[in-house]
A and B are shown apart, each in its own frame.
Chain A
Amino acid sequence: GIQVEQSPPDLILQEGANSTLRCNFSDSVNNLQWFHQNPWGQLINLFYIPSGTKQNGRLSATTVATERYSLLYISSSQTTDSGVYFCAVERDSWGKLQFGAGTQVVVTP
């Protein structure tokens, strides 16, 4: 099956800092999504981004499908950005998401 690798596994940021999270995948994909899981377990869909660049407030994402990676940018981080960020790809069957291991982000005041 497809391999999805996220880096770094852990990230500690001071409030106001910027950061970049990376997702590499081992084969071509139909779809790539980024999710944020807050400390209470709620998973929020951040981006549906099989290719190109999208922005939503302080977050933006870029997927370069030909090179099999995606980046998630967090600017001016806030404590509410804490949680786990997952990259998930879809390859063989639509809707069947394969998640990476996630990046645990802690934003300190």
Chain B
Amino acid sequence: DTEVTQTPKHLVMGMTNKKSLKCEQHMGHRAMYWYKQKAKKPPELMFVYSYEKLSINESVPSRFSPECPNSSLLNLHLHALQPEDSALYLCASSQADLGYGYTFGSGTRLTVV
């Protein structure tokens, strides 16, 4: 079991649907991240939250909307996705300022139909 919990583990959604991915950590980390990973490729950073504030947005399309309700929770709201958005979405957390203790969740496998 990892200390970063992601739900759901699998998600199939239509292009007109709205869904949310959820991530939770209880390690006291103040930095949280969303990554996207396509098959046979390395993870690519999407968003960074530091002390509950969005600090990095890697030019991600607006159909992906992150939210950090508190220091333990991170959400990714999905709307009007395209089939090419199908991927493994990984949440991670770490100590802020140093990037130490980087811990990934087990991911959500998203399929857009």
Least CB distance from A26 to B in Å reads 16
How far is B105's CA from A68's CA once the two chains are assembled, in angstroms? 29
Beta-carbon contact of A99 and B42 below 8 Å = yes
Find A45's partner among B43, B56, B102 (CB 8 Å cutoff): B102
Q: Say yes or no: is B25 at the interface (Cβ < 8 Å to chain A).
A: no
Would you give the 0/1 interface string for A56-78, flagging 1 where the beta carbon is closer than 8 Å to chain B? 00000000000000000000000
Would you give the 0/1 interface string for B71-108, flagging 1 where the beta carbon is closer than 8 Å to chain A? 00000000000000000101010101111111110110
Q: How many residues of A contact B (CB 8 A)?
A: 22
Least CB distance from A21 to B in Å reads 14
Beta-carbon contact of B2 and A96 below 8 Å = no
Beta-carbon contact of A42 and B106 below 8 Å = yes
Interface size class of chain B, counting residues whose CB lies under 8 Å from the partner chain? 20 to 34
> Which secondary structure dominates chain B's binding surface?
strand
How far is B31's CA from A90's CA once the two chains are assembled, in angstroms? 14
Residue of B nearest to A101 (CB): B42
Would you give the 0/1 interface string for A33-61, flagging 1 where the beta carbon is closer than 8 Å to chain B? 10100001111110010000000000000
Residue of B nearest to A43 (CB): B104
Contacts A93-B55, A97-B43 aside, 13 further interface pairs with beta carbons under 8 A come to A40-B106, A41-B37, A42-B107, A43-B43, A43-B90, A44-B104, A45-B102, A86-B43, A95-B33, A95-B48, A95-B102, A97-B99, A101-B41
Q: B residues within 8 Å of A by Cβ?
A: 2, 31, 33, 37, 41-45, 48, 50, 55-56, 88, 90, 92, 94, 96-104, 106-107, 109
